[in-house]
Amino acid sequence: MKSLNRTGSGPEKTEYISSRYQDSFHTSYDDLLPVVEEPAVQFYLDAMRIYLGLCEGSITMEAAINAVDILKQNPEYTSCPTNPIYIPINQRYKTKILENLKTLNKFNLFTKSAIRSAYNFVFLAEQAPINDSDLSVLMTLSKDPLISLVDASSILNLAPRTIARSIERLRERHQFRVSNLLDESAFNLQSVVLFFEVRDGIEWDSIENGFNHYPYVKSILKTTMTDIGYASFLIPNFNQNESLFVNSIKSLSKAVFEYSSLHKQMQMGAVANPELFDGESWTLPENLENMLIMDRAVNPENYPPLLSCSGTKPEFSKEDLAIAQHLKLDARTSPSKMSDSLNMGGWNIDSRKVSSVIRRMQQRNLILPYIIFTLPKLSSNFCFEITCNNDCRYRILETIAKFPWAMYYLSDRGIIVWTMVPGEHQVDYYQLFRALEQRPGINAVHPIMTISPKGSRSLINVLKNISYESGVWSLEPDILDITEYFEI
């Protein structure tokens, strides 16, 4: 396998330039930011600097967007896809960053793990209480994430202005956001997830570095608490190049993995049930044990929302993909604000075009809105890979529709579930999934405990300079060979 610093066909490797070589903006706290040589360490310092600049007003939003574009060129962005622009300006977060930086300087802790922890732990969910009015608004949005303020007011008997203020409180105190799932297959992009267990004697850092440099990796996760990890991909022209990509994964697996399992996405979705929370505690959903009863009929009407991979739609363009990617950041944003954001990112797209593309994607069922939030005691996070037959896949889907929060990915091998559950019930949910292994039709269940649900990077910047005509990306197939990015 070749070096990570690959040259040749496909996207050129971008050298990341750390912010200490740039004079685009300064903050009052620059003296707290250490000088480091390793780009992966600099990534977290840059993210903190951008956020601090926004907090004190020493950087404009346009300059921050440009700085984040540079931040995304750092391979570490694959491991930790963070965007300081979309973190709420919050005095508590600012204070925590400054305190953590002072601690790092005091004890001379400038390793990647120390600085990454100093950054990530700032934004761990706080156990902020939620009032009854805000919880009611959250429940309404969980059923219809794009509901208008006027329609919500008629349901809740609250003034639209009151609901708007409630949404702002949810954003600040509970990290509330409305996002969109996108049927990326419409743009000839195939979502694939690889679950793996690293062989004894193989260093995780070498695996992580390889994944970070492969241009079509969206996210990677492996914790110290579990042996199993995963990497997600978005592969262009998959139908034409499936065998090349799959064979390269097999070659990589033989070299470095004890276990590997490749899932090609068929459907996906997300569901939230904040009504299980009464402001003080969570209740367990009813009839969870039905997931284990294999001779029970499954009712499709009980399924949570599903978005299917419908295949390439040649009428959609790369500009349309850029709009769709921005919808993931804030699905409730106005077309004019989205147009402004796109223009600052180098896409000359007006608000009428944005509105038109969103309507077309909605009409063709290419997007599915869902909500993300934190609430007290919703503190345990799991990912389960379940390899199973088709009947079991939908039986599981029917049950997770009742969970407090879940995201699901149906594949040709089974189903993948990411879920947030109350700490007091984590054993109940964990044992429910592990008990599936004893049921017919279930091949294996692999759990991963995570710190928090991870996001993923957008590949629109990777694809921006690649021609896309009539549903085909103009790239050489060899670029999809993942083994070229590993040095084992």
Tell me which of 13-22, 124-133, 207-216, 364-373 is least confident: 13-22
Q: Identify whether residues 196 and 293 lie together within a single domain.
A: yes
Q: How confident is the model at residue 452 (pLDDT cuts 50, 70, 90)?
A: low
Q: Which of 186, 297, 175, 296 is nearest to 238 (CA)?
A: 186
pLDDT surpassing 60 at residue 339? yes
Q: Identify whether residues 392 and 487 lie together within a single domain.
A: yes
Q: Which of 10, 80, 4 is nearest to 47 (CA)?
A: 80
Which pLDDT score is estimated for 383? 93
pTM of the predicted protein model:
0.84
pLDDT surpassing 70 at residue 6? no
Radius of gyration of the chain (CA): 22
DSSP for residue 282: B
Tell me if 464 sits within 8 A of 14, measured CB to CB: no
Is the sign of the CA dihedral 131, 133, 137, 142 positive or negative? Answer: positive
pLDDT surpassing 90 at residue 344? no
Tell me which of 158-167, 315-324, 373-382, 401-410 is least confident: 373-382
Which pLDDT score is estimated for 126? 59
285 inside domain: yes
Which pLDDT score is estimated for 450? 73
Tell me which of 124-138, 173-187, 392-406, 463-477 is least confident: 124-138
Residue 358 lies in domain:
314-363
Torsion of CA 26, 29, 32, 38, to 10 degrees: -40
pLDDT tens for residues 39-89? Answer: 999 999 999 999 999 888 888 877 888 888 888 888 888 888 888 887 777
Q: Identify whether residues 149 and 279 lie together within a single domain.
A: no
pLDDT surpassing 80 at residue 191? yes
Beta bridge partners of 217: 233
pLDDT tens for residues 85-143? Answer: 877 777 888 999 999 999 999 889 999 889 988 888 887 655 689 999 999 999 999 99
Is the sign of the CA dihedral 332, 333, 338, 341 positive or negative? Answer: negative
Q: Identify whether residues 328 and 398 lie together within a single domain.
A: no
Tell me which of 62-71, 267-276, 279-288 is least confident: 62-71
Q: Identify whether residues 256 and 391 lie together within a single domain.
A: yes
Q: Identify whether residues 454 and 353 lie together within a single domain.
A: no
Q: Identify whether residues 351 and 373 lie together within a single domain.
A: no
Q: Identify whether residues 370 and 352 lie together within a single domain.
A: no
pLDDT tens for residues 312-327? Answer: 999 999 999 999 999 9
Which pLDDT score is estimated for 346? 86
pLDDT surpassing 80 at residue 151? yes
- Give dist(CA 137, CA 151) in Å, integer: 12
pLDDT tens for residues 220-233? Answer: 988 877 789 999 99
5 inside domain: no
Q: Identify whether residues 62 and 106 lie together within a single domain.
A: yes
- Give dist(CA 392, CA 376) in Å, integer: 32
pLDDT surpassing 80 at residue 25? no
445 inside domain: yes
356 inside domain: yes
Q: Identify whether residues 442 and 479 lie together within a single domain.
A: yes
% of the chain at pLDDT higher than 70: 93
What integer is the mean pLDDT of 242-259?
Answer: 96
For the chain, the average pLDDT equals 89
pLDDT surpassing 60 at residue 17? no
What integer is the mean pLDDT of 377-395?
Answer: 92
Give 344 or 317, the one with higher predicted confidence: 317
Q: Quote the number of domains for the chain.
A: 4
Which pLDDT score is estimated for 15? 46
Q: Identify whether residues 190 and 319 lie together within a single domain.
A: no
390 inside domain: yes
Q: Identify whether residues 33 and 83 lie together within a single domain.
A: yes
52 inside domain: yes
* 391 to 189, 262, 398: CA distances (angstroms): 27, 20, 11
